[in-house]
Structure 1
Amino acid sequence: MISVLGGLLGMLALIALVPVLVLLLQVVLACLPAPRQRPMAGGARPPVAVLVPAHDEASIIATTLASITPQLLPGDRVLVVADNCTDDTARLAGVAGAEVVERQDARLRGKGYALDFGLRHLASQAPDVMIVVDADCVVGEGAIERLARRCVEAGRPVQGLYLMRAPAGAGAKVQVAEFAWRVKNLVRPRGWARLGLPCQLMGAGMAFRWQDLAGVDLANGHLVEDIKLGLDLCQQGKPPLFCPEALVTSQFPVSQQGLNSQRTRWEHGHLGLILADAPRRAMAAVQQRNGALAALTLDLLVPPLALLVLALLGLNLLTWLAYAVLGLATPAWLALWALVLLALAVGLAWLRFCREVIPFSVLLYAPFYAARKIPLYLGFLIKRQVEWVRSKRDDD
């Protein structure tokens, strides 16, 4: 009986070690000096259409469009899909100079449906490149140019650097969220890119060649439709390329309701994708001998940092209790090493990429931040969110 328990605990510790080792490898690779970027080819860049899905974004849509329209050239388009809007999003987008289409369907809700609607609208005059920007984002100077050129040159989907920032005066929990976001969207894809491996799609700052979208099903209400789309494209032989020179930024909501809604959607969606999709993607990677898909599946297995911290703390408590009572040493040491390696990865990521933005004292709050998210993860087990819900803005 003791040997069976030891085997089970050892297996749990080894399973927990896998995402930690993937994360540590990505962080170490990201800390290496960045390779010199090959200059982009000269000449006229390809025509683009910037697609902006928007649901009740009247408070911010003008700011978003103001960051996009100066970067457009003759022949480019910016299309706002006002999706199930109950405010002035459509009117304000039109005033700001965008082409606007409205979609009303209370049954089929979610960003994926809005993207599909916009894609079909653009099909009559299809652009060479389509770029997706969320309606609450600001597009950095030159980002449209870099995304479009890189997409055409590489012949692959391209993901820019999409960062979310804590508002001025935000508390420690929002700053911890900003740190976790930078690790996920900057450090980890940069590390994989050092090996020539693809990155996950992040939802904004995504560029696609028009022909690559032909075989993709966008019309879905998946909570993390961007990650699913990246995996679909990778499985079709079109792995997304990371382009950190193209910056897109957004801001975390300050309101607790907005933060909770946002986190629940992202993290329930991510966890659901790990359980439902990871085994199938791993099998496809083996069958196709698709190394890019295997790498993206490994990346998918790294859960949100808060959950990883909680899981390892709980595992250490369990295994060291088993060691104290039953003398089972191996699982306890494996669990401890996993926790130490996670702390090393987090410390390296902060030191190299975040110390000028986030004070070290904020990291000391991280375990308490993780503990406050226990109800969110219990909710995944008891009442998982399966429908897309827009995050509440601070001025709603």
Structure 2
Amino acid sequence: MLVFHSILTAFGLLSFLFSLLAVFLLVEVVAAWISRLRQRGESLDPIVAHGSQPTRLAVIMPAHNEEAVIERTVSKMLEQLNQGDQLIVVADNCTDRTAKFAFRAGAEVIIRDNPEQRGKGYALQYGVDHLASDPPEVMVIVDADCEIVQGTLQSLAQATAARQCPLQAAYIMPVPAQATFRDRISAFAVMLKNVVRLQGLAAIGGPSLLTGTGMAFPWELAQRTQWASGDIVEDMTIGIELAKQGDFPRFYAPMTISAPLPSTKAAATTQRTRWEHGHLRNIRRFVPQLLISLVKRPSWSMLLLVFELVVPPLSLFAASLLMLLFVAGVVGVIGASLVPLMLCTTAFVAFTLAIMGAWRMEGRNLLSLSDLARVPVYILGKLPIYSAAVRKAETQWHRTDRSAGQVGKPAPHLSKQQTLGSVDVID
């Protein structure tokens, strides 16, 4: 009897936790909606709108086998830079013509060749070390396959310099012309995670998680940040580490940056596995540390960051809620307690309202109501990702393939020496 009571108590606490997280998710969505209503007809960035001074910025663009897109990305980026600004492409462990094409398009190119240290974090550290000899005021990180809305890069740099904290732009993944259901649901999930939730979190005074691209840092902070790592979600990890030292990243809604969805189902699975395994690992790794920090030094921003981090990947969240609701129903039927059923029902309703609210704001152009009815099938298809996280979580960094089947070829025309500002061509 004592064992049964203990199990029932533990299940009740778990139900309470999930109901709390579901309500938090709903609060984020409602706060984002209210924030957008308030911003209609108003300047989205009062600091920049009232005339900030031009800011000298440097864009670091880590690139691994991006010859298919690098010229277009560099050309578009250079259009947004002022005289004195820099665009540095870090050609990292490339086996194709990324460096040559980036240099041809007008970027400053540095080559990093170290197969033993693979991952975006190492490339970023290499770029930061290069900038140290002639530092900018603000450093911006943009992935090689991304596109920034014209005219917003300078406002991001000015806002970062004015606020003296890291800023994260709204990062989205638009659907291709012939989008599948998988493409549309993925684009909606990214929009919910990277825009709606972060905008709502900002509206209630919370920090932002870093999402990998469209990130800006005051130079002093960028220089003392430890970038070099093979972490599979280095962006999220760096953001949490910054928050631990009091440098909370903030969401910057006026700027939007976009990247294409993965080109194949296998590439999408690889990307999702990396993101979601990394998220779950960071929950285990950082939440105890953040809670201890919160006890020692109470902070509203830190409390909201803990909640944001603890909310699991949404497919896992939905599957867990359904399972808990079923178990809670069984517990209620046998007469043990109705409390878990009430809590789980609250959680399920709050979660459903949050998803529908986000769909109302951002998803109607991506998903029809009939598509929403197919979401449970999509969730079931992702369960192997979460079971793999229990058996053997992904720990190695892998580049996401967005090249529609194009594979980088060895490039003997590039020298193996590290070059600054140019690349040696052996053609």
TM-score after normalising by structure 1: 0.96
* Cα-Cα RMSD: 1.5
Amino acid at match of 1:235: K
Give CA deviations for 1:76-110 in whole Å, capped at 9, x if unaligned: 11001111111111111111100111111112111
1:187 corresponds to 2:191: no
**Distance (whole Å) between structure 1 residues aligned to residue 241 and residue 295 of structure 2:** 15
Partner of 1:34: 38
Partner of 2:222: 213
Amino acid at match of 2:118: R
**Distance (whole Å) between structure 2 residues aligned to residue 116 and residue 252 of structure 1:** 26
Shift, 1:196, TM fit: 2.8
1:8 corresponds to 2:10: yes
Cα distance change of structure 1 residues 360 and 63 upon mapping to structure 2, 3 Å threshold: farther
Partner of 2:314: 305
Shift, 1:238, TM fit: 1.8
1:54 corresponds to 2:63: yes
Unaligned ranges ≥5, structure 2: 407-427
Shift, 1:205, TM fit: 0.5
1:168 corresponds to 2:172: no
Per mean C-alpha deviation after superposition, the further-off stretch among 284-293 and 134-143 is: 284-293
Aligned residues: 396
Shift, 1:354, TM fit: 2.2
| Match for residue 154 of structure 1 among 163, 169, 184 | 163
Contact 2:132 2:223 (8 Å CA) reproduced: no
**Distance (whole Å) between structure 1 residues aligned to residue 118 and residue 226 of structure 2:** 15
For 1:82-93, list aligned pairs within 5 A.
Answer: 82-93=91-102
**Distance (whole Å) between structure 2 residues aligned to residue 197 and residue 4 of structure 1:** 35
**Distance (whole Å) between structure 2 residues aligned to residue 349 and residue 29 of structure 1:** 11
Shift, 1:57, TM fit: 0.9
For 1:336-355, list aligned pairs within 5 A.
Answer: 336-355=345-364
Contact 1:59 1:395 (8 Å CA) reproduced: no
Shift, 1:155, TM fit: 1.3
1:395 corresponds to 2:399: no
For 1:350-369, list aligned pairs within 5 A.
Answer: 350-369=359-378
Contact 1:199 1:242 (8 Å CA) reproduced: yes
Give CA deviations for 1:174-212 in whole Å, capped at 9, x if unaligned: 211111111111111111211232111111111111001
Unaligned ranges ≥5, structure 1: none
Amino acid at match of 2:97: D
Contact 2:63 2:143 (8 Å CA) reproduced: yes
Partner of 2:213: 204
Give CA deviations for 1:136-180 in whole Å, capped at 9, x if unaligned: 111111121111011011111111111112222221122111111
Shift, 1:358, TM fit: 2.9
Give CA deviations for 1:341-394 in whole Å, capped at 9, x if unaligned: 100110111112222343232222211111100100000000111111111232
For 1:38-117, list aligned pairs within 5 A.
Answer: 38-40=46-48, 41-42=50-51, 44-117=53-126
Partner of 1:246: 255
> Residue 90 of structure 2 aligns to a residue in which SS?
strand
| Match for residue 233 of structure 2 among 224, 229, 247 | 224
Amino acid at match of 2:150: E
Bigger radius of gyration among the two: 2
Amino acid at match of 2:70: I
Contact 1:63 1:138 (8 Å CA) reproduced: no
Cα distance change of structure 1 residues 42 and 194 upon mapping to structure 2, 3 Å threshold: same
> Residue 136 of structure 1 aligns to a residue in which SS?
coil
For 1:242-391, list aligned pairs within 5 A.
Answer: 242-391=251-400
Shift, 1:44, TM fit: 4.0
**Distance (whole Å) between structure 1 residues aligned to residue 244 and residue 14 of structure 2:** 29
Contact 2:47 2:159 (8 Å CA) reproduced: no
Contact 1:167 1:254 (8 Å CA) reproduced: no
**Distance (whole Å) between structure 1 residues aligned to residue 26 and residue 74 of structure 2:** 38
**Distance (whole Å) between structure 2 residues aligned to residue 30 and residue 240 of structure 1:** 18
Shift, 1:39, TM fit: 4.7
Per mean C-alpha deviation after superposition, the further-off stretch among 323-332 and 297-306 is: 323-332
Contact 1:190 1:242 (8 Å CA) reproduced: yes
1:20 corresponds to 2:29: no
Give CA deviations for 1:19-68 in whole Å, capped at 9, x if unaligned: 21211110111111234432514254111100000111111111211221
Contact 1:162 1:205 (8 Å CA) reproduced: yes
> Residue 139 of structure 2 aligns to a residue in which SS?
strand
Contact 1:115 1:218 (8 Å CA) reproduced: yes
Q: Percent identity?
A: 35
Give CA deviations for 1:288-332 in whole Å, capped at 9, x if unaligned: 333222211211111111111011111112221232335432212
Q: Which runs of 4+ in 1 moved over 4 A?
A: none
